[in-house]
Copies of this chain bind each other. A is one copy, B any other.
């Protein structure tokens, strides 16, 4: 397989698909719409998991695990939620296979092993979890209940793309229960802030925090908070959501608690999640025509060392220096790999590490040994410099921060360049067509207008930004009054 990628300017979508496969992140499987996450892609996901898990625990949450299956009768209990997910559910109807009498060596579903009640493979776990919480919550002393689950979920999407929309995906889902409405709202906001901190400070992806409109809300939620990121092709990507669920699930599953004062009331709820979709956001924020670009925080190997040599003796000498560099870098908690494979030439190694986005590459050859230097190459800027060996550890350590910050800044500037305030629908359509990106425009607050704009332009309201200022104006579409701009974009 050629390692050359299609250029982004040529065909962004093709570039993305090729990059995911060629950089060894993921690939399609034999199961329609389900992906295989390859070791290199999974190692990046593990870095995300570890940091998120730390942030969840730091904010008082504990992990638990709930069943993969949801009995149909529980699934349908919260009507809006059920309605929202019914059309994309994988359903288990039987629990046994048998030899197929018509096809020797083949199996068929055993018609006698039909389940009395069908089981839905969880598309999200509110139903099974709130049915469980009923047994866990009696008194205010049992609240708040702050739980997270790392799990796989299944949504039978018709058009799938690696990481962005797959039938099965990996995610975390937080599910919390509270004694008061105010506390639940605070929790939903807190977790949206955790997500935005994670995206910006860890993934180097700038995001806009805000509230979804009614039509874009999670099925069963009272409010949906979200973080929205802007991809290089000018389309938005929803990177995380946090829902204030009101008492909807508590009522559907009859979960009440006795307050300190002895009063009975339904419990208030939130849920919040991010998924392997973040891998897509990562790729489409930082990468280039040469392949993946990783912020140091997410790189399985932050530094790779490639030896240049002709003779065995040279290889030994270079390896000795490489080993010293490795232990110096590891002592500063920098992950480093020595690519001493003898089955590949330096050029092939350079190409692979570039494609896979290793932030820094160190090359050491016989000339370097003579001069007491190495060649240091930055993946994000594709620049090289010669660095004295005795300064190397400090330089590399400094670059870890510099690269992380530069990637954020670059993405931030890109977003600033591609965010446009428009005041007429002509302008709206023009900007959308010519530069894409985020559009800040007045909207009259109705579903009807939102739907019509979507129909005509394919742009949706990504969110009502948290930091939007009051400003009187008129809706770009209907001309009706509006008191704040909302964020429009075409989206993944």
Contact = CB atoms under 8 A, between A and B. Distances in A.
Interface of A: 27, 29-31, 34-39, 42-43, 46, 62-72, 74-76, 79, 82, 86-99, 105-107, 109, 118-121, 128, 131-132, 135, 141, 147, 151-152, 154, 156, 168, 170, 343
A456 B325 CA distance: 66
Given A29-B128, A69-B168, 6 more contacts: A27-B132, A30-B131, A35-B67, A68-B154, A76-B107, A91-B92
By CB atoms of chain B within 10 A, which of A30, A98, A105 has the most? A30
Contact of A66 (B29, B71, B141): B29
By CB atoms of chain B within 10 A, which of A27, A42, A70, A106 has the most? A42
A37 B71 CA distance: 18
A30 B71 contact: yes
Nearest to A98: B86
A166 to B, nearest CB: 9
Contacts of A72: 97, 107
Contact of A68 (B91, B97, B152): B152
Given A62-B39, A63-B43, A131-B30, A86 B90 contact: no
A64 B91 contact: no
A51 B67 CA distance: 24
16 contacts: A29-B132, A30-B131, A31-B67, A31-B69, A31-B119, A36-B132, A39-B64, A39-B147, A68-B168, A75-B107, A87-B96, A90-B95, A90-B119, A91-B93, A93-B93, A93-B109
A36 B67 contact: yes
Chain A at the B interface: mostly helix, strand, loop or mixed?
mixed
Contact of A96 (B30, B42, B89, B131): B89
Which 4 pairs across A and B sit closest by C-beta, in order of nearness?
A39-B62, A34-B67, A37-B65, A86-B97
A89 to B, nearest CB: 5
Contacts of A66: 29, 36
How many subunits of this chain does the assembly comprise?
2
Contacts of A128: 29-31
Contact of A46 (B27, B63, B71): B63
Given A63-B39, A67-B34, A88 B79 contact: no
A105 B89 contact: no
Given A36-B64, A67-B31, A152-B68, A93 B96 contact: no
By CB atoms of chain B within 10 A, which of A37, A90, A131 has the most? A90
By CB atoms of chain B within 10 A, which of A42, A107, A118, A170 has the most? A107
Contacts of A118: 109
Nearest to A74: B30
Contacts of A121: 68, 92, 121
Contacts of A99: 86
B71 A31 contact: yes
Contacts of A62: 39, 42-43
A92 B343 CA distance: 44
Contact of A94 (B71, B76, B91, B151): B91
Contacts of A65: 36-37, 42, 170
A106 B79 CA distance: 9
Contacts of A94: 90-91, 93
Contacts of A76: 105-107
Contacts of A88: 95-96
A44 to B, nearest CB: 11
A63 B89 contact: no
Contact of A82 (B29, B67, B107, B131): B107
B119 A107 contact: no
Nearest to A170: B65
By CB atoms of chain B within 10 A, which of A65, A87, A88, A92 has the most? A65
